[in-house]
Structure 1
Amino acid sequence: MKIFRLILLILHLGLLFLLTGVLLNAYIPPKIFPWFNLLSLGFPILIAGYVLLTFFWILSWKKRAFVFMFLGLFFLNPVKRWINYSSESNETANLKIVTFNIKGGTFGKEEIQEYINAQKADLVFIQEYGAGDLELENLTGKNTIPINSLYTNYKIVSRKNLFENLFNGDITAQCEQIDLEIKGKTYRVINVHLESFGVVKSMVKLNGNSGEDETKVKNVIKRLIPTFKSHQEQVQIIRESIDSSPYPVIVAGDFNSVPNSYEYYKTSEGLKDAFYEVGRGSGTSFHDYKYPLRIDYIFTSESIKPVSYQVDSSVHLSDHFPVIATFKID
């Protein structure tokens, strides 16, 4: 029994070490050490293992349980970025936003239009819009860049393709900066689609053959690491747009990055994560794999107050769930 507990203790310490590595994404970019970013993908498994082992020590009446419980407090905020149970806001919302990667409308463009129309949103951020514009009631949109489109009836002051000079040859990386006049005040909105990893289910589905499975894992990692490094460049451009903005900022879209990743930490600096502030339940927005992947976000300046946040998991019109949030603006 002592040997068994020693093995569990070593395992628990190992999980603590790996979880600490996830937190280092806030400080160490992928071009310096991409493996911390890789760990962020495994955060749900790592934290679940950590919690289970902590309960084991509690039930075993071991003093080390108190140490692991105390150290576990450092991971409360990272957990809230995946699963959250915020109390209801007392604010009255006057701005509604939908962000939705529609996968080119392959699940049914008319159904997507009907769903979005029913939301009666003020701003609709679309990623992977595919061929042809959506026909939305009371909203207009103009596609000036591939993949992304913004629909609104607010006055457009200016718009700019932020990734115009990004010469990585990957058209899946798209980002548009649009300055809008909303209720007599100018806001900068940024519609984001960071570079895709190009990973499909067949590439990550293991079949029990050790040789084939090892090859699959290596091939996936070969795709992940370079994309992490490309994301660093893309996020830096977005960051420059945020930092130079003379207006309050709304950043939304598909980041192809999970919470506690470098992309998340860097983009959210000085901004509010609407899910973290007012979200409830799971933030998982990409459902094509049977694994919790939250990769769609809405970040706002401090002056924009989140009121409600919903990942509508009842809707299967894409491999992403639509994200719907309301805000109070002055």
Structure 2
Amino acid sequence: MQAKVKKWIVQLASGANVATILVMLAVGYSDRLNPASHPLMATLGLTFPVFLAINAAFLVFWAFFKLRRTLIPLVGFVACFGPVRTYIPLNVNSNPTDSCLKVLSYNTFLWGGGEATEPQRWEMLNYVKEKDADILCLQEANLGGKFQATIDSLLNSIYPYHDIKEKTTIYDRLAIYSKYPIVRSERVMYPQSEDFSQACWVAMPGDTVLVVNNHFATTGLTEAQRQEFKSMLKGDLRTKQMPSLGKSLVHKLGEYAKIRAPQVQCVAQFVRKRKGQSIILCGDFNDSPISYAHRCMAKELTDCYVASGNGPGISYHRNAFYVRIDNIMCSDDWQPLKCVVENKVKTSDHYPIFCLLQKLRK
């Protein structure tokens, strides 16, 4: 009788493990779907870590229950190697040299917004000062008011060259600060929109580098919806509320993924037309590593975090949306040596992402 029960458990668990892998594959490769045609399916990438964790749990289960069956989750990880590496890369970092270019990208959330205290804003500014990046890309960088003058004064004292572009569609500022001369800049206009990304040509020793700073469309979720999502994950909502809430959240996420798609395509085309030039691209994609937005851009440039980072690198950390949505990418004349998402300063809803880039000889 005991043998029959064990056999039944093995068969049931094996089937569940295979089903998990099939779903993990579907979710892992959902970034192939254009949100313009499949807005709801294109949001599946957000669930990828759930199925990744379930498959890992099966690996532990089989290790104790039936060792040979560990092949099932291991085959699943191999089949899904691309998405797994994109979501949670593991790398052995090379030793940086003094000639490395230091790049920092940071969505400051209006330097913490109206709720932040002055000491908290100084903590953010001191962090930026201490990183001493050669190129600094900021998003949502316009606090306004009296303290903005302090911010501008400090950053201008560190960086002799800067380009600031205010967005009119939303309360946003894109800013590129550089220790090297900015020879020209322009807006990369999105189709049928007043919104844009920022492009600057930076004159560095031996080459001119195109730096592109982005802040693509948000998820569209209100603060109330974010709180409801957090409550849903905690199980604080009534069971009857969850299906309708889940459906409305997915619909909203799909709707804004559809808005982001042409924005990302526009910037990807801008980069593609300049193939052969030295390019560094930064910013807040407002989408997960398993998304059409990320894949579209990673087809043109190297994702510095995937190439030289370790772990999930969570950069957005509010309301249970713990995911890496901030990125630094580069053309193939650069080698990313170390890319990290640093969680020292928590005033913004984003953590900054920092990368050391080594210029390769032609």
TM-score by length of 2: 0.82
Q: Which amino acid aligns with 2:359?
A: I
| Match in the other structure for 1:156 | 182
Q: Which amino acid aligns with 2:13?
A: L
| Match in the other structure for 2:208 | 186
Q: Tell me whether 216-225 or 16-25 shows the greater mean CA deviation.
A: 16-25
Q: Does 1:297 align with 2:303?
A: no
Q: Which has the higher helix share?
A: 2
Mapped partners of 2:130, 2:95: distance in 1: 24
| Match in the other structure for 2:247 | 218
Show CA shifts across 1:131-182 (max 9, x none). 3453313214332232211111322232222135442x7xxx6411222212
Q: Which amino acid aligns with 2:141?
A: Y
Q: Which amino acid aligns with 1:292?
A: Y
The structure-2 alpha-carbon separation of the partners of 1:39 and 1:5, relative to structure 1 and needing over 3 Å to count, comes to farther
Identify unmatched segments of 5+ residues in structure 2: none
| Match in the other structure for 1:104 | 110
Question: Match of 1:145, SS?
Answer: strand
- In the TM superposition, what is the alpha-carbon distance from 1:65 to its structure 2 partner? 3.2
Q: Does 1:232 align with 2:253?
A: no
Within the candidate set 84, 95, 98, 1:90 is matched to 95
Within the candidate set 63, 68, 72, 2:73 is matched to 68
Question: Match of 1:292, SS?
Answer: strand
Q: Does 1:11 align with 2:16?
A: yes
Within the candidate set 206, 216, 228, 1:203 is matched to 228
Show CA shifts across 1:91-111 (max 9, x none). 424211110110011234333
The structure-2 alpha-carbon separation of the partners of 1:38 and 1:66, relative to structure 1 and needing over 3 Å to count, comes to same
Question: Match of 1:277, SS?
Answer: helix
Given that 1:25 and 1:265 are in contact with CA atoms closer than 8 Å, whether structure 2 keeps it comes out as: no
The correspondence of residues 1-330 of structure 1 with structure 2, limited to 5 A, is 1=5, 2-61=7-66, 63-92=68-97, 93-105=99-111, 106=113, 107=116, 108-132=120-144, 134-135=151-152, 136=155, 137-139=157-159, 140-146=161-167, 147=172, 148-163=174-189, 165-167=191-193, 174-199=196-221, 200=223, 201-204=226-229, 205-206=231-232, 207-245=236-274, 246-290=276-320, 292-330=322-360
Given that 1:96 and 1:326 are in contact with CA atoms closer than 8 Å, whether structure 2 keeps it comes out as: yes
- In the TM superposition, what is the alpha-carbon distance from 1:186 to its structure 2 partner? 1.2
* Paired residues, number: 326
Question: Match of 1:8, SS?
Answer: helix
Mapped partners of 1:56, 1:46: distance in 2: 15
Question: Match of 1:256, SS?
Answer: coil
- In the TM superposition, what is the alpha-carbon distance from 1:237 to its structure 2 partner? 0.3
- In the TM superposition, what is the alpha-carbon distance from 1:183 to its structure 2 partner? 1.8
Aligned-pair Cα RMSD in Å: 2.2
The structure-2 alpha-carbon separation of the partners of 1:197 and 1:291, relative to structure 1 and needing over 3 Å to count, comes to closer
Q: Tell me whether 85-94 or 306-315 shows the greater mean CA deviation.
A: 85-94
Show CA shifts across 1:211-269 (max 9, x none). 32333212211211111111211111011111011511111111011112111111101
Q: Which amino acid aligns with 1:131?
A: L
Mapped partners of 2:317, 2:200: distance in 1: 29
Mapped partners of 1:73, 1:58: distance in 2: 17
Given that 2:91 and 2:309 are in contact with CA atoms closer than 8 Å, whether structure 1 keeps it comes out as: yes
Mapped partners of 1:18, 1:32: distance in 2: 21
Instruction: Give the structure with higher Rg (CA).
Output: 2
Given that 1:179 and 1:187 are in contact with CA atoms closer than 8 Å, whether structure 2 keeps it comes out as: yes
The structure-2 alpha-carbon separation of the partners of 1:283 and 1:191, relative to structure 1 and needing over 3 Å to count, comes to same
Mapped partners of 2:285, 2:313: distance in 1: 14
Mapped partners of 1:231, 1:35: distance in 2: 13
Mapped partners of 2:340, 2:316: distance in 1: 14
Mapped partners of 2:71, 2:90: distance in 1: 25
Question: Match of 2:165, SS?
Answer: coil
Given that 2:101 and 2:134 are in contact with CA atoms closer than 8 Å, whether structure 1 keeps it comes out as: yes
- Give me the identity figure in percent: 22
Identify unmatched segments of 5+ residues in structure 1: none
The structure-2 alpha-carbon separation of the partners of 1:83 and 1:23, relative to structure 1 and needing over 3 Å to count, comes to closer
The structure-2 alpha-carbon separation of the partners of 1:261 and 1:268, relative to structure 1 and needing over 3 Å to count, comes to same
TM-score by length of 1: 0.90
